């Protein structure tokens, strides 16, 4: 999952980025409305965390504009303004949720998980893929009652493909969704191939993994 953090307070932006990265989310930070516009035009995000008071404009206007351009990302408004009118206006403009500052990071994460489940129709916390089950909340892959031990990044690659079932995702898309542009620069797209290879090896010890397809010259797809 990728997150665009639109926040001009450096300390908060950094704190959010580090926390979400530790949870396996890839973060990009924009400190102005202008930077946010450029980022949104440039790459698709799963989440936008949007501060309302930006140095060069109002986050609300940015939201209205982005929604007009059919922004697909889920939006959570983060703001010191607790006013009911702001909250209502934000939700009317298409924000998915609203958190008044200061908020706790685990609460933010819980709200993000709830939105993900809603958006992807994951009302059941477990999603079947081949002979396996993905427990999205607990971040585990199960074969029957047995857990298949995966690394954090392997789980990220797999769950991202599963959430976009039947769609071909390029190595670049997977890379951006898993690493983002915050930490670990100097990324090599061979990492994705290595993770897929490990996934096939680990899952393949239990059952066939033909549903995890390589699309030659493009990337990968989970068929289901």
Which residue sits closest to Ca ion, CB atoms considered? 53
Residue from 8, 46, 96, 154 in contact with Ca ion (CB under 5 A)? 8
Our CB check for Ca ion shows the closer of 89 and 117 to be 89
C-alpha distances out from residue 35 to 38, 83, 112, Å: 5, 26, 23
# chain residues binding Ca ion, by CB under 5 A: 3
Residue from 34, 43, 53, 165 in contact with Ca ion (CB under 5 A)? 53
Our CB check for Ca ion shows the closer of 23 and 28 to be 28
Least distance in angstroms from the C-beta of 45 to Ca ion: 19
Residues linked to residue 205 through DSSP beta bridges, in sequence order: none
Strands 97-100 and 74-79, bridge-based pairing: parallel
Task: For residue 176, state whether it binds Ca ion (rule: CB under 5 A).
Answer: no
Task: For residue 133, state whether it binds Ca ion (rule: CB under 5 A).
Answer: no
Least distance in angstroms from the C-beta of 52 to Ca ion: 7
Least distance in angstroms from the C-beta of 111 to Ca ion: 19
| Binding segment toward Ca ion, per CB under 5 A, in 49-57, 112-120, 127-135, 170-178 | 49-57
Task: For residue 51, state whether it binds Ca ion (rule: CB under 5 A).
Answer: yes
Task: For residue 94, state whether it binds Ca ion (rule: CB under 5 A).
Answer: no
Q: Helix/strand/coil (H, E, C) string of 169-199?
A: EEHHHHHHHHHCCCCCCCCCCHHHHHHHHHH
| Binding segment toward Ca ion, per CB under 5 A, in 8-16, 19-27, 40-48, 108-116 | 8-16
Least distance in angstroms from the C-beta of 176 to Ca ion: 26
Our CB check for Ca ion shows the closer of 80 and 131 to be 80
Strands 126-129 and 132-135, bridge-based pairing: antiparallel
Residues 6+ apart with CB under 8 A from 172: 189, 219
Task: For residue 49, state whether it binds Ca ion (rule: CB under 5 A).
Answer: no
Least distance in angstroms from the C-beta of 3 to Ca ion: 17
Q: What is the binding site for Ca ion (CB under 5 A)?
A: 8, 51, 53
């Amino acid at each position: 999952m990728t997150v665009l953090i639109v926040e001009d307070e450096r300390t908060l932006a950094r704190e959010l980025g580090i926390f979400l990265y530790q949870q396996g989310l890839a973060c990009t930070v924009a400190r102005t409305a202008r930077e946010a516009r450029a980022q949104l035009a440039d790459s698709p995000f799963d989440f936008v965390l949007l501060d309302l008071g930006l140095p060069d404009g109002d986050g609300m206007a940015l939201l209205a504009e982005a929604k007009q351009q059919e922004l697909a990302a889920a939006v959570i408004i983060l703001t010191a303004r607790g006013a009911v009118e702001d909250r209502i206006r934000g939700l009317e403009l298409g924000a998915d949720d609203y958190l008044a500052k200061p908020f706790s990071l685990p609460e933010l994460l819980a709200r993000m998980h709830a939105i993900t489940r809603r958006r992807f129709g994951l009302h059941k916390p477990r999603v079947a893929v081949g002979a396996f089950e993905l427990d999205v909340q607990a971040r585990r892959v199960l074969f029957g009652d047995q857990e298949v031990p995966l690394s954090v990044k392997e789980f990220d690659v797999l769950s991202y493909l599963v959430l976009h079932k039947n769609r071909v995702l390029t190595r670049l898309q997977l890379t951006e969704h898993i690493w983002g542009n915050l930490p670990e620069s100097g990324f090599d797209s061979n990492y994705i191939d290595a993770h897929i290879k490990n996934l096939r090896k680990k899952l393949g010890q239990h059952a066939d993994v033909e549903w995890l397809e390589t699309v030659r010259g493009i990337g990968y797809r989970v068929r289901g």
